[in-house]
Amino acid sequence: MNINTKNLVSISEANQNFSKVARMVDENGPVVILKNNTPRYLIIDFNQAEQEMTMADEDIRAVSARLIEKNRKAYLELAK
């Protein structure tokens, strides 16, 4: 996930003007909220969060398929 450096907001600014933060997410993508000048929170669009989770599941499936194919002979032997 890429974060636009223009989308860094202090926690006090986010607290005072959350609608501005939400608008930043809509226009420019994920926003990082800083606490004591350290990244602490990430605000992303809900649909993007769902896509990120789906991509992770797809990665797991791809790895599983590759391992099964690589070790097919062993799995067939174990299945006997």
Q: 34-52: per-residue pLDDT in tens?
A: 999 999 999 999 888 777 7
Burial class (CB in 10 A: 0-12, 13-18, 19+), 72: exposed
**Pairing relationship of beta strands 31-35 and 38-43 according to DSSP bridges:** antiparallel
Q: Which CATH topology does 1-44 take?
A: YefM-like fold (3.40.1620)
Q: Give every residue of the chain whose pLDDT is below 50, as ranges.
A: none
* Domain boundaries, given as residue ranges, for the chain: 1-44, 55-80
Full-model pTM: 0.59
Q: Which two tokens stand for residue 32?
A: 């990082």
Alpha carbon 57 to chain centroid, angstroms: 12
pLDDT at residue 11, rounded to an integer: 95
29: DSSP letter: S
